Amino acid sequence: MKRTATTILATVALLLAATGCGADDSTGKTGADGSKQVTLTLNWVPYGEHAPFYYGLQKGYYSAEGIDLKILPGNGSGNTVKQVAQKQTDFGWADSPVLLKSVASGMPVRSLGAYLEKGPSSVEFFTEKNIKTPADLKGKTVGGTPGDALYATFPAWLEKNGVNKNDVKVVNVDAAGKIAALAEGRVDAIMGFFHDQAPTIESKTGKKVDVLLFADYGMNLLGTGLIANTQTLQKDPELVRKFVRATQKSWADAARDPAGAVSAMAALAENEPAPEVLTKQLTLNLPLLGADGPPGVNTEAQWSETIDLMSRYAELKDPGAPNAYWDSSYAAQG
């Protein structure tokens, strides 16, 4: 039987209140059967990208590591990072550019690996607009949300592709309102994550959606990945190793069995998209995984590229080296 997100969150809150646990005591509490009770907070409410977690949960990969996993919905990567920083959740699933800005602001969090090595940052539009390259955006109106990495890097992406940023009109749109703005014709295109939004837009409008992926036109920002509090890494590295190992197995096997992953998510998640949308989202998501090695194993060059782009275009101050944001040791042992 499914549990609602509200019920899950309320249960976690009651457990914390009943045990009197402060922020420093929240990681991996031990259950009656000896397993560690662990929470993972997603970057958003469940959509296709998250199916591998539910697949691993259903297959018993986490329980095999002694982990009693609860998956909680999120409300944006920024909020997820804050919850991890404040020890309100054990692990998080968050966008890497958001993590960079959060670490720079002093939050004690680290990436355990970006699983979407090819970032999903894109410009999305209806096929009927006949947009084929960045040059076709000249004279068009594009909706974006101030403050996110896409909005910050979009002008540089245009210039990189020979388009004067002044030839494209950018309209500020609330994150939750971008799909409606496109569907209602208030903008010609929107900035967003295509693997999540494009299937949703097609389902809502019945129109075919095309995209221009930032990464296909010279600008790749690492996508979502696992994050943890630095104190967790110091106090319970064995739990982190087990969690990462189970997650890597979940993602690798889900990539080989996407139908099974969709089925697991439909059975275990709450408020997930319709099966056909969920299937499209996961299908678009899988090619974003790295082709070499286990999921979540990155290179310094990949992180350096994202750090450099954020430093130049998104006000990432005093950027530092990749290891200021990313601990490579856990995924490497997966």
Specify the pLDDT at position 27: 57
Assigned CATH for 5-118+222-332: 3.40.190.10
Domain ranges for the chain, please list them: 5-118+222-332, 121-217
What are residue 190's DSSP bridge partners?
A: 124, 143
- Token readout for 151 is 């909005």
Torsion, Cα of 36, 52, 214, 212 (10° steps): -150
Distance CA(100)–CA(314), nearest Å, equals 10
Q: Which CATH number fits domain 121-217: 3.90.1170.50, 3.30.70.20, 3.40.50.720, 3.40.190.10?
A: 3.40.190.10
Residue 53 to residue 41: CA distance in whole angstroms:
11
pLDDT of residue 290: 85
pLDDT, residue 10, reads: 37
Predicted pLDDT at 293? 83
Nearest to 103 by CA among 219, 229, 226, 193: 229
d(CA 58, CA 326): 29
Position 32 scores a pLDDT of 64
| Amino acid, res. 3 | R
- DSSP E strands in 3-140: the ranges are 29-30, 36-41, 67-72, 91-95, 109-114, 121-126
Locate 155 and state its tokens: 């002008």
Strands (E), 165-322: 169-172, 189-193, 209-213, 224-229
End-to-end CA distance of the chain: 32
What is the residue-level pLDDT of the chain in tens, covering all 334 positions? 344 333 333 333 333 333 333 334 445 677 767 889 999 999 999 999 999 999 999 999 999 999 999 999 999 999 999 999 999 999 999 999 999 999 999 999 999 999 999 999 999 999 999 999 999 999 999 999 998 999 999 999 999 999 999 999 999 999 989 999 999 999 999 999 999 999 999 999 999 999 999 999 999 999 999 999 999 999 999 999 999 999 999 999 999 999 999 999 999 999 999 999 999 999 999 999 987 789 999 999 999 999 999 999 999 999 999 999 999 999 975 4
Cα dihedral 315, 145, 169, 134 sign: positive
Fold matches, 5-118+222-332 and 121-217: yes
Q: What angle do CA 241, 93, 331 make, to 5 degrees?
A: 30
| CA pair distance 204, 180, nearest whole angstrom | 10
As a whole number of angstroms, the distance between CA 62 and CA 53 comes to: 9
